[in-house]
Structure 1
Amino acid sequence: MIQYMPLFRSCSNSRSLAQLHAHLIINGLHKNPQASTKLIESYSQMDSLKTSRLVFYTYPNPDSFMYGVIIKCHVWNNCFQESIFLYNNMINHISRTNSFVFPSVLRAISAIGDLGIGLKVHGRIIKCGFEFDHIVETALLSMYGELGWMVYARKVFDEMSVRDVVSWSSIISSYVRNGQANEGLEMFENLVMEGFEIDSVALLSAVEACGELSVWKVGKSVHGYILRKSIWIDGSLTNSLVAMYGKCGDTCSAEMLFDNAVDKSTYTWTAMISCYNQNGYYHKALALFVKMHESDVEYNEVTLMAVLCSCARLGWLKEGKSIHGYIVRNALDCGSDLLGSALVDLYANCGKLSDCHKVFDSSQDRHIVSWNMLISGCVQEGFSEKALTLFVDMVRKGILPDSYTLASVLSASGDIGFSEFGCQIHSHVIRTGISTGFVKNSLIDMYSKCGLIDHALMIFKDTQERSVVTWNSMMCGLTQNGLSREAIGLFDEIYSSLREMDEVTFLAAIQACSTIGWLEKGKWVHHKLIIFGLKHDMYIDTALMDMYAKCGDLWMARRVFDSMLERGIISWSAMIGGYGMHGQIDDAISLFDDMVNSGIKPNDIIITNILSACSHAGYLDEGKYFFNLMIDLNIEPKPEHFACLVDLLSRAGDIDKAYEVITSMPFPADVSIWGALVNGCRIHKRMDIIKMIQQRLENLQTDDTGYYTLLSNIYAEEGEWNESRMVRSKMQSLGLRKLDGYSMIELEKGIHTGKAHDTYSFA
């Protein structure tokens, strides 16, 4: 039979192999186990597994080696279940088994993901005495790693008689692949200390682990090791290094690697585009994609997903639709996990929820990522109730929510004040244990927005590892619920304990100072902001300007405004509102003119601020002008605009005109509008109007105690005590209590509050 082995090697196609097979049959050699085994293997290598099976099943008594070859042939052809069937058939008919069969069987078990069968095969290996066979040990290690059972994998590794670089690489890659990057890096360091020549598998895993953990220094050290050892950086290693530097925020090193790459594959281009996306350089990502297109490099689904992500973040709908058209023209699957989710994300971020639903509804297999994108898009666009409906629909279809889903749903619950639903989600979080930092922060935010600040504080105190987002969420929640001093106290705690702070931390502290008018503390926070060297953005500068204006330092507010490199409409609105708040109406109007001349179109908030300023200053003609200006600007007047106009007319003594405005409004007047008229009637002693609208006032359903107090005081001033008592009685019957007025004063670097009848002693 040995003389025929060169003939097997010379068979270049299935036809020549078939001729050799016929020759062996004619000479009676086809019953030779070596010849049959070689035929089985050769046919499989030529993609003729069917013929291999025919040879095997026609052989009368196959031995364990022949079984091993046919099992290996099935694994080569991805017929894993058949491989397991052949293995079971073998152990039922052959008492003695060789070690050659087990690596292929273990590979098949990894592919089908059945740990139970794997444990049984492991038991058979021990029973047959092959547990110390190095090849079998390595195959066991790989199987447990691929199945995610790292405890078993590590036990096999620790008990191995001989550890070579293959086994080290297997345990390292298994740790990284199963989300245990720290353990993977620790094993890599041990491998280096052992003095092995490290292969590309271990290096790829180490680089990936550095990216997952964002440990730039360690990643740089691994890269340095590769260069010192003159290890050839192939395409896969280049791609991994680019991805690692991208995740660590070092785009310069990633660009250098990309530019120096000799043969850039699709994966290399995609890795660099993803790197730009991860670091917020979306324009660069799209520019590189254009260059990739010009270089005639083919795209894959990951490339297109990355480009759609860039378009979504920039809000470039036209460019995103162009990519969508390419996907459709090339018959790519729009409903796939990658492209479907990316398209939903694109249309959601561009505010095109109808298109978003079309993509989502056309998908046959809706993945959790697509649901998350659609729910998140609804929340971002203000359709919180729709987001909750989608969530319920998702759960009914048997799709379990992840932490991203829960965070979006909690945000939706907070936005509409639906605390009952939020509490149910909280219960689900406790039951399932999906209590990530991301979800806890969302719970704090939800409870704060719903006014349940005690619940938010409880979650905050129970959180052991508080990220900067956790502190920020709690500070904002306290300020939203009127506990600004407590929010500033948290800021002091963060600062004194040298914890991580970001722009949002300072923004929350500035807003808290603004709410209670604590100027000195606001200046101190501003000073620390400068010392920390954090980048000023439009939102922080606007908050600083608003804080200084509300605290009475208009000069400093204007100084911040003038120093801003970028001004949004909210910045102009805050400065105009600041002038109006302090009665400097001429400056407010002048700044309004500057804004219009700079090309910024006023919105309804700007008009509210300027109308309020005119009202407080008694600028009747100017107020009428700005109210009528809304028609030219296509701004539909809201209740707050009518309230300002009624207040302006009432203060000026034109009560009849104010009443006429109220009766001609396109919607019913609320308590603020009637309150403005009543206040004007009080100033100008027009009890006849109050009497005339008495019935309408009584039908108002409001918990505003200020309105009832004003009305009662008016009757008392006119000596109509019965009417005054009736108003007070109605107030009591509704369970309303007048809130105590208080004064705030800043003394000795502290803010002090005083109410009526409080006593203080000052040394």
Structure 2
Amino acid sequence: MGLYMPLFRACTTSRALTQLHARLIVTGLHKEPQASTKLIDSYARTGSLETSRIIFGSFPEPDSFMWGVLIKNHVWNCCFQDAISLYDAMLFHLPQMGDYTFPPVLRACAAIGDLGIGQKVHGRIVKSGFESDPIVETALLNMYGELGCILYARKLFDGMPIRDVVSWGSIISCYVHNEQPSEGLELLRGMAKEEIEIDSVTLLSAAEACGELGLWRLAKSVHAYVLRKNIQSDVTLNTSLISMYGKCGDTGSAEALFRSAVIRSIYTWTAMISSFNQNGCYREALGVFVDMQLQDSTVEPNEVTLMSALCACARSGWLKEGKSIHGFLIRNNIDADNDILRSALVDLYSNCGRLRDCLKVFDPAQDRHIVSWNMLISSYAREGMCEEALILFTQMLIKGIIPDSFTLGSVINACGDIGFIQLGSQMHCHVIKAGYSENEFVQNSLIDMYSKSGLVDSAYAIFEEIPDRGVVAWTSMMCGFHQNGKSEEAIALFSKMYSDSLEMNEVTYLTAIQACSNLGYLEKGKWIHHKLITFGVREDMYIGTALTDMYAKCGELQMARQVFDSMTEKSEISWSAMIGGYGLHGHIDAAISLFTDMVDSGIRPNDVIFMNILSACSHAGYVNEGKSYFNAMSDFGIEPKSEHFACLVDLLSRAGDVEEAYKVINSMPFPVDASVWASLINGCRIHHRTDIIASVQEKLVDIHTDDTGYYTLLSNVYAERGEWSECRTVRSKMQSAGLSKVHGYSMVVVDKRIHHMPGG
């Protein structure tokens, strides 16, 4: 038989093995246990597992080694349940078995996730006296680790009399792969203290743990250890180190490792693409993907590679490049209906605003992957198509797909955006029943939904129940107060965050500045601006615009202009804030000059900017300029709205040209609302043109509005004319509508606190 052993090793194909098998049959050697065992093993390794079973079944009395080889090969071919069945049959036929039988059986138990069978095998190991065998003990460690039973694994490890590098590596891997990387690194330190040489397999776990925790310094130490000990950095370890650096935010070191690699597998390329993606370097990520196509024809991208490339395109809004990758999938017959790739394509098209293309990729009849549904629902909500998002959510429920926290958060946000408070409340109940009430994303969505629906007290009740509030929760609640006219409460929350040394982001500062702007709280606004500079918060376009608006509304026009001029990027809203600030404080020439600068710089004014410049002209009495700007709106493709007509009517009425103002009203292409009539009435009152009021008296009484200022102005005009009947009619109409005059008040800051002073 010894003569045939080299021939077995040379049999790399099924045909060669069949020929050797035939020669063994001719010589009668196939009946020997050693030859049969080698045939079983060889056929299984060439993919003929069924032939291995036939040979095994034809042998009259297979020994434990032959059983063990057959079980091992079933595990090697991923036939885990069959391997367990063979083990049970072996127990029935043989009273004793060798230690080599247990490791593959334990691997099969881990693969099928059956802890009960695994514990029974553990009991058999103890009964057979192999509990101290290092190979069997390591297999037990791996099984318990893969099944998430870390306590069992640790107890087993602590009881081992001799712990070699393999057992240390196994227990460290158990902790790292069960989301306890800190404990894994602590064990690594213990391994170093016992002066056990750390091998490349253990370093894989160490690199993964450093990456998960973002421990850059320790990551550098791990890499230095590899270099210092001259450990052979194979493709797997090199890939793990690249991924480690990427997760620690050090793309420079990751790229240096990648470029120096002699051999790059698909996993190496994918790790580099993912590292760039994780750090927002999407252009570089896509560049690596292109280099892979051009430089290495032997490497075929897998699902994760293509998903990472599509992710880079989606995050950057590169539709053309993303469609090219989609075309690559089609040309190379790669299954785009795969759950991972379909979700990535949905993500790409939704982020690029191509919802029609999303629907071409997404098939609600077949797609049962929650990620695809989530992406499409959130995309509809993000694009303002909230009703469509809710319909899609309903279809998902009909398909029997259980929503997760991301689904619920997106649907709750959609309810808030369209004010669908009834469904939002029902979703809140479902959140509690489904056990997601402590999920941070869902909590923040509920705060946002109730705030947008005007139920700020309900939002605050949820906020108060959150034990560990993150920056998003604080900021969402601040936004809720600010949006509901409770800017003082928003500033109070900001002050609480600062006093408690809590984390703040750009949106937190932005909301606080907007609240100060609403209140005209200059002192606090300056303080927040100072903290922005002190803490090195990046002043982007949004914060710059908010600061400009705050200083302008508070009358600090010089500071507002200084902030405005320092902005590297200005939006239409930025220009509007500065122009509006000048107009609000009567600096009409400065407003006009800035408007001209804006147009000269290539910025097209929008309807809000025209509203601000018209309002400035109205307050300053610049009639000709105001009329010119109103007429210029059509040159920029802007249709005047009711507010613009109200400004023009106010401009003409204040100047005494009430006849022209009345002509403008009659020329309006849509029904005249209360704000326009109020501008005319105020002009008539100022210039004592009761004749105009008398001619439109019937129209004035028929106006329906919630603006108490309009009713108050009209009743005062009638009172001044002595027309008490009409005055009472207006007051009665106001009361029947459930409206009451809003009392004026002043605000004054004393000892850094805002105090309200009632109007006289």
TM-score normalised by L of structure 2: 0.93
Indicate if the aligned counterparts of 1:360 and 1:366 stay in contact, CA closer than 8 A. Answer: no
Q: Secondary structure at the match of 1:736?
A: coil
CA distance in 2, matches of 1:661, 1:160: 94
Cα displacement string for residues 602-638 of structure 1 (whole angstroms, at most 9, x for unaligned residues)? 2222222222222322333322322232322222333
Q: Does 1:492 align with 2:506?
A: no
CA distance 1:201–1:667, change in 2 (3 Å): farther
Q: Secondary structure at the match of 2:756?
A: strand
Aligned pair partner of 1:721 in 721, 724, 738: 724
CA distance 1:12–1:358, change in 2 (3 Å): closer
CA distance in 2, matches of 1:7, 1:748: 96
What does 1:337-356 correspond to in 2, within 5 Å?
Answer: 337-356=339-358
Letter in 1 for 2:356: S
Q: Does 1:506 align with 2:470?
A: no
CA distance 1:355–1:17, change in 2 (3 Å): closer
CA distance 1:426–1:170, change in 2 (3 Å): farther
What does 1:526-545 correspond to in 2, within 5 Å?
Answer: 526-545=529-548
Q: CA shift at 1:527, angstroms?
A: 1.2
CA distance in 2, matches of 1:454, 1:162: 63
Q: CA shift at 1:236, angstroms?
A: 2.4
CA distance in 1, matches of 2:15, 2:260: 47
Q: Secondary structure at the match of 2:469?
A: coil
Cα displacement string for residues 240-268 of structure 1 (whole angstroms, at most 9, x for unaligned residues)? 22222222222232233233333334333
CA distance 1:228–1:582, change in 2 (3 Å): same
Q: CA shift at 1:677, angstroms?
A: 3.5
Q: CA shift at 1:279, angstroms?
A: 2.0
CA distance in 2, matches of 1:700, 1:119: 82
Aligned pair partner of 1:613 in 608, 612, 616: 616
Indicate if the aligned counterparts of 2:747 and 2:756 stay in contact, CA closer than 8 A. Answer: yes
Cα displacement string for residues 105-143 of structure 1 (whole angstroms, at most 9, x for unaligned residues)? 222232233334334433444444444433222222222
Aligned pair partner of 2:450 in 427, 447, 451: 447
Divergent runs of 4+, >6 A: none
Q: Secondary structure at the match of 1:219?
A: helix
Q: CA shift at 1:161, angstroms?
A: 4.2
- Residue number in structure 2 paired with 1:167: 167
Moved more, 658-667 or 28-37: 658-667
CA distance 1:60–1:319, change in 2 (3 Å): same
Cα displacement string for residues 30-88 of structure 1 (whole angstroms, at most 9, x for unaligned residues)? 33333322221122223322221111111123233322111112222222232222223
- Residue number in structure 1 paired with 2:429: 427
Letter in 1 for 2:398: R
What does 1:54-203 correspond to in 2, within 5 Å?
Answer: 54-203=54-203
Indicate if the aligned counterparts of 2:84 and 2:105 stay in contact, CA closer than 8 A. Answer: yes
CA distance in 1, matches of 2:482, 2:16: 84
CA distance 1:350–1:672, change in 2 (3 Å): farther
Cα displacement string for residues 467-496 of structure 1 (whole angstroms, at most 9, x for unaligned residues)? 222222222222222222222222222223
Indicate if the aligned counterparts of 2:456 and 2:484 stay in contact, CA closer than 8 A. Answer: yes
Q: Secondary structure at the match of 1:753?
A: strand
Q: CA shift at 1:518, angstroms?
A: 0.9
Q: CA shift at 1:688, angstroms?
A: 5.2
- Residue number in structure 1 paired with 2:325: 323
- Residue number in structure 2 paired with 1:234: 234
Q: Secondary structure at the match of 2:757?
A: strand
Cα displacement string for residues 391-450 of structure 1 (whole angstroms, at most 9, x for unaligned residues)? 222232222223332332232222222233333333233223332323322222222222
CA distance in 1, matches of 2:381, 2:79: 46
Q: Does 1:712 align with 2:715?
A: yes
Indicate if the aligned counterparts of 1:336 and 1:363 stay in contact, CA closer than 8 A. Answer: no
Q: Secondary structure at the match of 1:361?
A: coil
- Residue number in structure 1 paired with 2:338: 336
Q: Does 1:635 align with 2:620?
A: no
Q: Secondary structure at the match of 1:752?
A: strand
Letter in 2 for 1:264: R
- Residue number in structure 2 paired with 1:285: 285
Letter in 2 for 1:608: M
CA distance in 1, matches of 2:706, 2:253: 61
Aligned pair partner of 1:754 in 734, 754, 757: 757
Q: Secondary structure at the match of 2:363?
A: helix
What does 1:218-617 correspond to in 2, within 5 Å?
Answer: 218-296=218-296, 298=299, 299-361=301-363, 364-434=366-436, 435-617=438-620
CA distance in 1, matches of 2:7, 2:276: 56
Letter in 2 for 1:746: V
Indicate if the aligned counterparts of 1:745 and 1:752 stay in contact, CA closer than 8 A. Answer: yes
Indicate if the aligned counterparts of 2:368 and 2:401 stay in contact, CA closer than 8 A. Answer: no
CA distance in 1, matches of 2:114, 2:72: 18
Indicate if the aligned counterparts of 1:414 and 1:445 stay in contact, CA closer than 8 A. Answer: yes
CA distance in 1, matches of 2:30, 2:134: 33
Letter in 2 for 1:153: A
CA distance in 2, matches of 1:449, 1:657: 41
Indicate if the aligned counterparts of 1:335 and 1:364 stay in contact, CA closer than 8 A. Answer: no
Letter in 1 for 2:42: S
Q: Secondary structure at the match of 1:743?
A: strand
Indicate if the aligned counterparts of 2:219 and 2:244 stay in contact, CA closer than 8 A. Answer: yes
Indicate if the aligned counterparts of 1:336 and 1:365 stay in contact, CA closer than 8 A. Answer: no
Letter in 2 for 1:181: P
Letter in 2 for 1:39: L
Structure 2: gaps of 5 or more residues:
none
CA distance 1:253–1:23, change in 2 (3 Å): closer
Indicate if the aligned counterparts of 1:317 and 1:350 stay in contact, CA closer than 8 A. Answer: yes
Percent identical pairs in the alignment equals 65
CA distance 1:754–1:12, change in 2 (3 Å): closer
Moved more, 556-565 or 622-631: 622-631
Letter in 2 for 1:427: C
Indicate if the aligned counterparts of 1:388 and 1:409 stay in contact, CA closer than 8 A. Answer: yes
CA distance in 1, matches of 2:265, 2:98: 43
Indicate if the aligned counterparts of 2:614 and 2:630 stay in contact, CA closer than 8 A. Answer: yes
Indicate if the aligned counterparts of 1:510 and 1:522 stay in contact, CA closer than 8 A. Answer: yes
Indicate if the aligned counterparts of 1:345 and 1:373 stay in contact, CA closer than 8 A. Answer: yes
Q: CA shift at 1:555, angstroms?
A: 0.9
Moved more, 248-257 or 668-677: 668-677
CA distance in 2, matches of 1:694, 1:96: 109
CA distance in 1, matches of 2:386, 2:138: 53
CA distance 1:346–1:671, change in 2 (3 Å): farther
Moved more, 687-696 or 323-332: 687-696
Letter in 2 for 1:275: S
Q: CA shift at 1:28, angstroms?
A: 4.5
Structure 1: gaps of 5 or more residues:
758-763
CA distance in 1, matches of 2:14, 2:258: 44
TM-score normalised by L of structure 1: 0.92
- Residue number in structure 2 paired with 1:760: none
Indicate if the aligned counterparts of 2:701 and 2:730 stay in contact, CA closer than 8 A. Answer: no
CA distance in 2, matches of 1:289, 1:33: 53
CA distance 1:195–1:392, change in 2 (3 Å): farther
CA distance 1:463–1:710, change in 2 (3 Å): same
Indicate if the aligned counterparts of 1:315 and 1:350 stay in contact, CA closer than 8 A. Answer: yes
Letter in 1 for 2:105: V
Cα displacement string for residues 539-578 of structure 1 (whole angstroms, at most 9, x for unaligned residues)? 1111111110011111110111111122122211111111
CA distance in 1, matches of 2:632, 2:293: 50
